[in-house]
Chain A
Amino acid sequence: MIKFQNVTKTFRRTRVLDGIDLEIGLGERVALIGSNGAGKTTLIRCLLGEYNHAGLVTIEGRSPRAERAAVLGMIGFVPQLPPPLKMPVGQLIDFAASLCNSDPQRIFDLARRLGLDVDGVVSRQFVKLSGGMKQKLLIAIALGRDAKVLVLDEPAANLDPEARKIFFELLAERAATATMLISSHRIDEVSSLVNRVIELDMGKVVLDDRVADDVSLSGRLDCRIAVKRPEPAFAKAMADWNFTDRGDGIEWTGEVAGPDRLRFMGMTSRYVALISAISLKEVDAKVGAGDTASAAAAALPGTAA
């Protein structure tokens, strides 16, 4: 599907990519991780045919540089930083859909699913949307066509928990038909989304590991948390995750997307002294081994599960 053969990229005297050799097959979900300056963005730009480089990059045997229109028609891309486009949202959708020969309505529908009131912002300038709204729209544009390769650069960074949950579902719907390359600074942000991890450092692949694929992208976890006393900061965090208060801010229940469990537990760890009980239980039939009754209970140290 995607091949990097001895890809080297040099900016003046700095070698940013140093002989990258990779093969990524159909259906693989790859986390591209590494610190700042490791070469992630450069590798993505080589894949998108935006950079000249030594070596060969091909997607289904075709060069994204030489056969731009044909190859890029297969790629959906979400950048880390949204471009400061002044055009209205509706025009951006029409522009992208026209170039990609897709139906704008499909993009509108996906944006709505992600929780973006697209009808309300259709005539607003893209640059004036909030960070989360821009991210939702760019995701909708990338997924709103039959892309065989999805290149996502920190795609969920600006999304709220509910939008992330739907975003994971959207990725799950495409898992069998698309190859995904998800770039991030941190493995914990994307670990549950992927089945392969590639780490870059100083322009070289330092880790290429296939990981257990037990977490379903569309899986969900029922969660119950009890705290020792009501705390406004904790209540706000729970509200951000769309949790329901079951009694005076003491007990909270809600749903967490499967791939978001690590992020959720990271959030709860900030209140470890406050929490008296916590449980997470898989509820989706597609989760893990497919046993709906299987319960994965997680307890924080010193608390009752």
Chain B
Amino acid sequence: MKQLWLTAKLDIVESLRARWFQIYTLVFGGIVALLFLFGLTESRVLGFIGLSRLLVTYIQLTMAILPIFVLITTVRSVAGDREAGVFEYLLSLPVSLSAWFWGKILGRYVVIFTPVFAAMLGAVLWALVVGIEVPWGMFGYYTALLAVMAACFLGLGMLISAVARGTDVAQGAAFFVWLTLLLFLDLILLGVMIQGKVAPELAVTIALANPLQVFRTAALALFDPQLIVLGPSAYVILDLFGITGFKIFALVYPAVLGLAAATLGYHLFRRGDLP
């Protein structure tokens, strides 16, 4: 356990000094600052006003940015460390491979989740200061959703890092995974459905296997519980899960997916050449 904490701490210290982390923090802090600056809390869209409106916008933007950011920075730094000889040296020290791998994940998780959460927390604190009502239920669920999203894509990133040896290959693979998930949000599924080649239920099932789609739908469900904007797909989802069931699914499925990817990555890492 000591080795795990030491490795996690090491990764946090290394990341805090990396340029990607500074940009990452700036992006999410900047989003919240800009949303306040442009008076989003004063605007009314779909009946949402105040902090709810800001949180809805923030989570939509986060869902667009966080997955690719986490994937690319994870594979870049892990594969980059391997290429630069960091693994060769640090893995010559008496640390077990499980403590190293999971410690690295733990440290990185803290580093990628903290700025996203801190930005949202900052918005809530500011709302309290200026007297805007805080939707605590929404804030709590969005926090859980962001935590799970970070874990899911971190797990996928670590799996890619374990499979791809070089930085270029790892980066290309990460981009390919993100692009595939993005295309399966709408474009490919819509195309296939229009051609009438798959049943709507199958298309919806494929869509729900996509963590990006799960996050997007769960975020929608908070301000549109009947998922009206999804059209007929909403019937399949609500028949299958119900509103609460889907909210739980949206937290459990991506977490399990991320954990499974990380576990597979660990086994590949342990069995392969380390540096």
Contact = CB atoms under 8 A, between A and B. Distances in A.
- Please determine whether chains A and B interact with each other in the same assembly: yes
Nearest to A48: B92
A49 B89 CA distance: 12
Given A77-B92, A79-B85, A50 B275 contact: yes
A138 B2 CA distance: 22
Interface string A59-83: 0000000001111110101010111
Interface residues of B, number: 28
A301 interface: no
- Classify chain A's interface size: 20 to 34
Contacts of B96: 68-69
Given A69-B3, A83-B86, 12 more contacts: A45-B88, A45-B275, A68-B95, A72-B93, A81-B85, A85-B86, A86-B13, A86-B18, A88-B13, A91-B13, A95-B9, A98-B2
Given A51-B274, A52-B271, A87 B6 contact: no
5 contacts: A50-B92, A50-B274, A70-B94, A72-B93, A100-B94
B92 A72 contact: yes
A84 B91 contact: no
A68 B90 contact: no
A52 B14 CA distance: 28
State the 3 A-B residue pairs at the shortest beta-carbon distance, nearest first: A72-B94, A86-B17, A77-B92
Given A68-B96, A69-B96, A52 B273 contact: yes
A77 B96 CA distance: 17
B91 A69 contact: no
Interface in A25-59: 45, 48-52
> What DSSP secondary structure best describes chain A's contact surface?
mixed
Contacts of B94: 68-73, 99-100
A172 B157 CA distance: 47
Contacts of A77: 89, 92
B92 A75 contact: yes
Contacts of B144: none
B88 A125 contact: no
Nearest to B15: A86
B214 to A, nearest CB: 35
Nearest to A96: B93
A82 B86 CA distance: 8
Given A45-B275, A68-B97, A99-B94, A79 B10 contact: no
Contact of A50 (B3, B86, B91, B271): B91
B84 interface: yes
Contacts of A79: 85, 88-89, 92
Contacts, number: 82
Interface of A: 45, 48-52, 68-73, 75, 77, 79, 81-88, 91, 95-96, 98-100, 125, 138, 151
Nearest to B80: A84
Given A45-B275, A51-B273, A83 B3 contact: no
Nearest to B271: A52
Contacts of B17: 86-87, 125
A87 B85 contact: no
A81 B97 CA distance: 23
Nearest to A125: B17
B84 A98 contact: no
A48 B273 CA distance: 11
A85 B97 contact: no
Most buried by A among B6, B90, B93: B93
B39 interface: no
B129 to A, nearest CB: 35
B92 A95 contact: no
B191 interface: no
Nearest to B273: A51
B274 to A, nearest CB: 4
A35 B10 CA distance: 35
Interface string B191-204: 00000000000000
Contacts of B271: 52
Given A83-B86, A85-B14, A87-B17, A52 B272 contact: yes
Interface in B1-45: 2-3, 6, 9-10, 13-14, 17-18
Nearest to A51: B273
Contacts of A83: 84-86, 88-90
Contacts of A49: 274
A48 B84 CA distance: 17
Interface string B88-122: 11111111110000000000000000000000000
Contacts of A138: 89
B108 to A, nearest CB: 14
B86 A48 contact: no
A98 B6 contact: yes
B95 A99 contact: yes
Given A83-B90, A84-B86, A87-B10, A50 B273 contact: yes
Contacts of B87: 50
A87 B274 contact: no
A75 B92 CA distance: 8
Contacts of B3: 69, 99
A48 B94 CA distance: 10
Contacts of A151: 92
B93 to A, nearest CB: 5
